[in-house]
Chains A and B, each alone.
Chain A
């Protein structure tokens, strides 16, 4: 009998689905069902998996909620799918993007569903890093020419007879496999599979002062916990990374960008204006990140602390 009730409910549901309209249903213009609950104005922000991005969102969220009276929903999405979600309006803004030329062309230039939101004020850089305690023992290890000499130091069970170069999340931009091949290094790229796994492993290595070589990026809060020094790769030149298989140069320095859904950018009111003005420094971001990831404060608490102590920075965003 319960079964029959279920059927009735299901029938009702499908009837509802049919009755919602007879015209076209454009699912690219749909908000999250959890948005705007109880008539509040809601902004949905995309949080990427790394903590720096969480800091941007936490501070923006805090200010939107406490100073502008919005409700903020956050959704964790990987970088490339976030562009898609942004273009569909499932997400209103991405606050930190590390450069995706294909997506920029498709969604900004061709479809005009995404608008540029200006720079975040933080410059990102990807590179290969070794712990600073290792550099003290072997000062010449920071030049890639010498990496082969030290390959045996970096051996692990996972990398077999070669040195281990640890890579992180599959969502991050990486040329490491090509680099190892083209620079003829005796290393094996081992993918940690997620940033969380990579950080956990780095901390474990550091605790025992073991040598390791890892793909890493700045700004990142982990540098304050585990001091690391970048290994110099052949210098980056414009276009040297054009062919993914033939890359043999370092990663560029990227000014991180913000992007807004174009509908939201036009009619988002105070929230859109605020997000366009949101701009801070690497130090600011790191301060919040460190509170979240290392002191284990919740992002809200960390944001509150930072907002309380830096009024001069965020007052400008609200004007």
Chain B
């Protein structure tokens, strides 16, 4: 458990806190001393007692049968879900046909013009280059399918998120009710959302869009509420004194004042929707995600990468453009005044239509089939070389497969067996102690209840297996992440060199990592852990670097003037002062690691991830939903255990 909490920052707690921590621990010890013998006598002290589980497989199986039998006749489906599904299909189709009608040149022109207007010339060039690269990789049509799906999903997420955010921003009661729900939704692995949506909507685009909306709407809601609540009271006062009605106040003052948060929300929503685009291919989303998924089925890393790169490009471009719109930087602001809004919009549309018509007349609406670049083969050759030379038998250090074997035998096995050996009530106790020490009694209660729910669902053992993988991966991630983050914080050159790598690692669909890690580490839990480390590392590095860099310069200066060496400055000033950022890094690391360890079920990670994959693959609601619920509980528990104070609004830095 020590790995999850990062003991280093705790030593930096001020004295009075430490004594309060002792008090908390003593209280818990007393409770434990009272309860443990009782629980022990009643239910024994091994794994979670069977008497305390609820078997949900029968009711879930019959619920699943009911849905399948009534899907084409029951009014609930005909008059409610049917319409939602129809609307999604219609909208996606409309967007897709528009994109196809605009052709590659039209879409590129439109994208570049929009980027130019909101973010300047450089990003416009970048956008055009990125879109053309998608075509050059031979992925134009899948890219448009993904884009169509994304447009609809993002619009729906923004609409839902903004409405919820508006409600939470205006009403305190709703805010209190929504906040824990949104907090929780943000820490859940995307994989856990898929099954319930598939059950109702079946495999296909509607299910994919809805799963994406559920996943991507929470940040919009949180940031909308945050923006509305953060409006400057003096401005509001002034507007009120001018006699504005409530409605006018909202529309003319509060919403415009929250513009920055709203655009940040849009940015976050787009990023999360894109990361879902690939996972949703498991339930029939089509497009780029499906290409990645199909390529991985034939162990074709090169082809998977060819489909993964457009996703990364889209993500980077959309991220930069929306971020620029949010900060309203540079020449975009000046042009605001020189060229009026409607005028610019008309020009953009006019140019797009002209370009589209021109290409149509030239008969070049579809991407020229000769102009594609085959990257699959060189990539595959590189991967083959790596696996051939690194897998085993490397002198002195041993091959990657040997490392994986040692890691499994010496780290994963002992941690898992240790966790499973612990009496069930002591696991709850440890969870309570950790979360109470770092957070409040509320977070502790949530964490303990979540852990207990896992036991009640009857998946105690696999959950602890997953937990052991998460702990091992988090430990590795933190060691590597803190080291890299410290290096980057101390040297500008390192940071500059790292930034593009981090960008790519973070936006690369998790699925693309899975096959290379198998080739390097074999099948089992080790590759799952490796993929999780690669995925979570960028966020941890980033938050660490930012945290260390934001340390008060005055404090550093005074330390320096006292003659502290570089090492002393780091250990005694920067790290203690950046404690909150480091804890946030731990928290983010845990959340991201969990998401990938679950997907690791697809490369032999077993445990809960395998159960979810099994449920999806076999349409077995009982196994899949129970495992999904356990993942939710595990995520909730891990988040609460590592959550120092109120979390920051951003996810994944």
Contacts and interface: CB of A to CB of B under 8 A. Distances in A.
B203 A158 contact: no
A88 B405 CA distance: 46
B523 A190 contact: yes
A37 interface: yes
B86 interface: yes
Nearest to B160: A10
Given A10-B156, A191-B606, A204-B401, A293 B284 contact: no
B387 interface: yes
A193 B204 contact: no
A6 B159 contact: yes
A166 B298 CA distance: 18
Given A28-B72, A293-B299, A20 B86 contact: yes
B79 A3 contact: no
A54 B620 CA distance: 24
A287 interface: no
Contact of A157 (B156, B201, B302, B405): B405
A9 B154 CA distance: 12
Interface string A212-237: 00000000000000000000000000
B380 interface: yes
Contacts of A85: 202-204, 284
A3 B263 CA distance: 8
Interface residues of A, number: 76
Q: How large is the interface on B (under 10, 10 to 19, 20 to 34, 35 or more residues)?
A: 35 or more
Contacts of A158: 408, 523-525, 604
Nearest to B374: A298
Given A6-B159, A47-B294, A200-B515, A25 B202 contact: no
Interface stretch (A71-79, A240-248, A249-257): A71-79
Contacts of A293: 298-300
A30 B79 contact: no
B616 interface: yes
A49 B526 CA distance: 24
A3 B227 CA distance: 13
B256 A76 contact: no
Contacts of A9: 155, 159
Given A9-B155, A27-B202, A54-B298, A197 B392 contact: no
Given A78-B617, A90-B202, A197-B604, A84 B68 contact: yes
A175 interface: no
B481 to A, nearest CB: 25
Nearest to A75: B284
B162 A7 contact: yes
Interface in B193-213: 198, 201-206
A27 B83 CA distance: 8
B202 A6 contact: no
Given A90-B284, A157-B524, A196 B294 contact: no
B41 to A, nearest CB: 33
**Max chain B Cβ within 10 angstroms of own Cβ: one of A27, A32, A82:** A27
Nearest to B227: A3
Interface in A60-96: 73-85, 88, 90
Contacts of B297: 49-51, 54, 76, 194-196
Nearest to B92: A33
**Max chain A Cβ within 10 angstroms of own Cβ: one of B87, B204, B406:** B204
Contacts of A6: 155, 158-159, 162
A292 B79 CA distance: 45
B56 to A, nearest CB: 19
Contacts of B302: 296
A170 interface: yes
B262 interface: yes
B281 to A, nearest CB: 7
Given A81-B202, A192-B523, 5 more contacts: A1-B256, A6-B158, A27-B85, A33-B89, A200-B523
23 contacts: A10-B156, A13-B159, A14-B87, A20-B90, A27-B82, A27-B86, A28-B202, A33-B148, A34-B205, A37-B100, A47-B294, A54-B298, A75-B286, A76-B284, A81-B619, A90-B202, A157-B404, A170-B613, A193-B600, A194-B603, A196-B514, A197-B604, A200-B523
Interface of A: 1-4, 6-7, 9-10, 13-14, 16-18, 20-21, 24-34, 37-38, 47, 49-51, 54, 73-85, 88, 90, 106, 156-158, 160, 166, 169-171, 190-201, 204, 207-208, 292-293, 296, 298
